[in-house]
Structure 1
Amino acid sequence: MTEMFDMLRELTDLPGVSGYETPVREYITERLGIAKVARTDNIGNLILEIGTGRPHIALVAHMDEVGLVVTKIEDDGSLRFRKVGGVDDRILLSRKVKIHTANGPVNGVIGIKPPHLMTDPEEMKKTVSFEKLRIDVGTRSRKETERLGIRVLDSVTLEKGLERLGRDLVVGRGLDDRVGCAILMESYMRLKNAKLRGRLTCVWSVQEEMGLRGAKVIAHTLNPDYVIVLDTCSSGDSPGVDEGHLQPAILGKGPAIRFFDSASIASPALRELARELAKRRKIPVQEIVAGGTTDATAVQEAGSAVIPIGVGMRNTHSTTEIVSLKDIENAVRLVVELVKSLSGRDSSSE
């Protein structure tokens, strides 16, 4: 698990706001040594193919994370911004951030009005919308800020490095979906020398957080028979959180088969196959109805049989996302078994 923790730490240290995934793509390419065999399509998906023919199996994980983008430099040197993806206004106050410029990262802070300056006691109870917030980069003028290399359209990430939490859990920013990226990387390493029938395509996709854009391109250009999407799934398994009507994915109890979510239904045949393989190989799995959606929605609409495999996550889209390393390892095991089984199938019979 130490090796997986180290890889996750390196992945989450990288900025990769939707539309700005290049550092993540370059890291994956270098780490796996695939520069000569992988390709990048026009939208930015990293694509690696092994073998030819049918069945065609695709593994998909998105590289991007939610974040911010600079929209204006004020006369006093502070920065206006907008949100990229599903960022909750509640997590923005009193945050350290990094502005990713052409000259390198610049530190900044989204400040908070101290109670000493408040005249209305109710003010502390209100959520401040992002439109009313600014990023302080320690300057006093627009020119001073521009001399730091900051420009409109620079991406911004909230700062929080990866740390261990207890024996098995890790906490940090961007684990959605660097967890899926890591699972896909490790699955590729275990499958690259396997004797598979047909074609296996590994795809690290872009702009999932902005409407599954990279996956939509994949769906219409690759036309896979089977797609296994690797992502996280929000868990109600957290102190003080009531999951309501949804079955929570319990951290440490295995990867979750996301059969239903807000926009897609997984293939019943792939669900049964995953359950059968997990039982046979003694891989713990959970079956859940999830909120939100994944890249599976986009590829399913193009006719592929899909199954999203999720790793349970506390505090999704925050700087304190929490996952289990055991769940990640068991997700890799399940993916490898699924690919090996599907590669021996006749896709026309599904």
Structure 2
Amino acid sequence: MDETLTMLKDLAEAPGVPGQESAVRRVMRRYLEPLSEIMVDNLGSVIGRKAGAAEGPKVMIAGHLDEIGFMVTRITDEGFLKFQTLGGWWEQVMLAQRVEVYTRQGPLIGLIGSKPPHILSPEERNKVVDRKTMFIDIGASSRAEAESWGVRPGDAVVPVGPFAQMRNPDMLMAKAWDNRFGCALVIETLRRLGEGGHPNVVYGVGTVQEEVGLRGAATTTNLIAPDIGIALDTGIAGDMPGVGPDEAAGKVGGGPVLLIYDGSMIAHTGLRNLLLDVAEAEGIPVQFDKMPGGGTDAGRMHIFGGGVPSIVLGIAVRYIHTHTAIMHRRDFDQSVDLLAALIRRLDAETVRQLKAGE
């Protein structure tokens, strides 16, 4: 694997559910340290500050560290674990999936279980299994045994989904593409900007707790006070059976995705137009999509202070919010090209015009 694939693998495989992102934060920080000055907030977000023009506008680009997962809430007398979902899950993708429970003594392998279909009534078989009836089996025979292994309520539970290149090596499979590729885009963009300079100060951010309310985006935006906000997050791929273009328009391998609307923000018109002009000049294809049912870190960025012109740029990913997802390497590389070219256009006068709506 080349250096970029190694970085993507390191980020994707690190455990980091909302509120417990320390392992993935260490990985991102390790890659940021040679490229930038490091800052942190008090919740665990990490920020790489890279100055081009010292008095130039502040540009914030952010991917979120956290992935969807679970939290242990109770240990039954028989040693099974009851759990709380962290982030949006659909019950049908949860059953019979491997997980790791991260205790203070180390990780334990487990399985999300429920009653087998053989003993369900016909009526029960036709219903989606309620997550409240599910449990995690770690192979313990009692609560005392589970506790002796270090399990406690509040422990993080992380999906198992190792990184792999598929038969087409540009198709990359792993857990947590939502949103570890965004963290990787931050790192690669800062590296690229170091090669040619930029007329601003760039803050490359890995935020915490995006999946449970965009919380790290709020704290880091308050810390940075940016002039421009760019959230790097997942587009929902629509190039699969049963999905129509009005449901999800992005195609894997089709280029970066500009999210024109989501449940937390409408893309800033001037910044959107500038990105499209840059993409055309650079020969980079751009896809458009909307996501009315979710939000992104830009939802917090754009309402800071008197307002921050913001957009969401992403990559189309198949099977987000499951244990394993698929993205395309070319989309990643083109997104780095586009981000670096856009940031180099964000000089003081351009940012002034964007903020003034000119």
Q: TM-score, normalised by structure 2?
A: 0.92
Q: Tell me which residue corresponds to 1:332.
A: 336
Q: Tell me which residue corresponds to 1:89.
A: 91
Query: Residue 180 of structure 1 contacts residue 231 of structure 1 at CA under 8 Å; is this kept in 2?
Result: yes
| Aligned counterparts of 2:36 and 2:303: Cα–Cα separation in 1 | 32
Closer, same or farther: CA 131–115 of 1 in aligned 2, 3 Å: closer
Counterpart mapping for 1:307-326 below 5 A: 307-326=311-330
Q: Tell me which residue corresponds to 2:127.
A: 126
Closer, same or farther: CA 34–149 of 1 in aligned 2, 3 Å: farther
Cα shift at 1:36: 8.7
| Structure 1 alignment gaps of length 5 or more | none
| Structure 2 alignment gaps of length 5 or more | none
| Aligned counterparts of 1:255 and 1:246: Cα–Cα separation in 2 | 18
Counterpart mapping for 1:45-64 below 5 A: 45-51=45-51, 52-64=54-66
Aligned partner of 1:175 among 174, 177, 192: 177
SS in 2 for 1:284: coil
Cα shift at 1:72: 0.7
CA offsets per residue over residues 197-241 of structure 1, 9 Å max, x none? 231111111111011011111232321111111111112221233
Cα shift at 1:35: 10
Cα shift at 1:185: 0.9
Query: Residue 94 of structure 1 contacts residue 111 of structure 1 at CA under 8 Å; is this kept in 2?
Result: yes
Q: Tell me which residue corresponds to 1:343.
A: 347
More deviation, 186-195/15-24: 186-195
Give the counterpart letter for 2:73 in structure 1.
T
Cα shift at 1:104: 1.1
Query: Residue 231 of structure 1 contacts residue 311 of structure 1 at CA under 8 Å; is this kept in 2?
Result: yes
Cα shift at 1:116: 2.9
**Percent identical:** 34
Q: Tell me which residue corresponds to 1:138.
A: 139
Cα shift at 1:45: 1.3
| Aligned counterparts of 1:20 and 1:35: Cα–Cα separation in 2 | 25
Q: Tell me which residue corresponds to 2:10.
A: 10
Q: CA RMSD, aligned part only?
A: 1.8
| Aligned counterparts of 2:24 and 2:78: Cα–Cα separation in 1 | 33
| Aligned counterparts of 1:152 and 1:50: Cα–Cα separation in 2 | 40
| Aligned counterparts of 1:33 and 1:299: Cα–Cα separation in 2 | 24
Q: Tell me which residue corresponds to 1:40.
A: 40
SS in 2 for 1:209: coil
Q: Tell me which residue corresponds to 1:261.
A: 262
Q: Tell me which residue corresponds to 1:185.
A: 187
| Aligned counterparts of 2:193 and 2:36: Cα–Cα separation in 1 | 18
Closer, same or farther: CA 23–35 of 1 in aligned 2, 3 Å: farther
| Aligned counterparts of 2:311 and 2:260: Cα–Cα separation in 1 | 7
Counting matched residue pairs gives 348
| Aligned counterparts of 2:93 and 2:227: Cα–Cα separation in 1 | 40
| Aligned counterparts of 2:138 and 2:15: Cα–Cα separation in 1 | 18
Closer, same or farther: CA 36–197 of 1 in aligned 2, 3 Å: closer
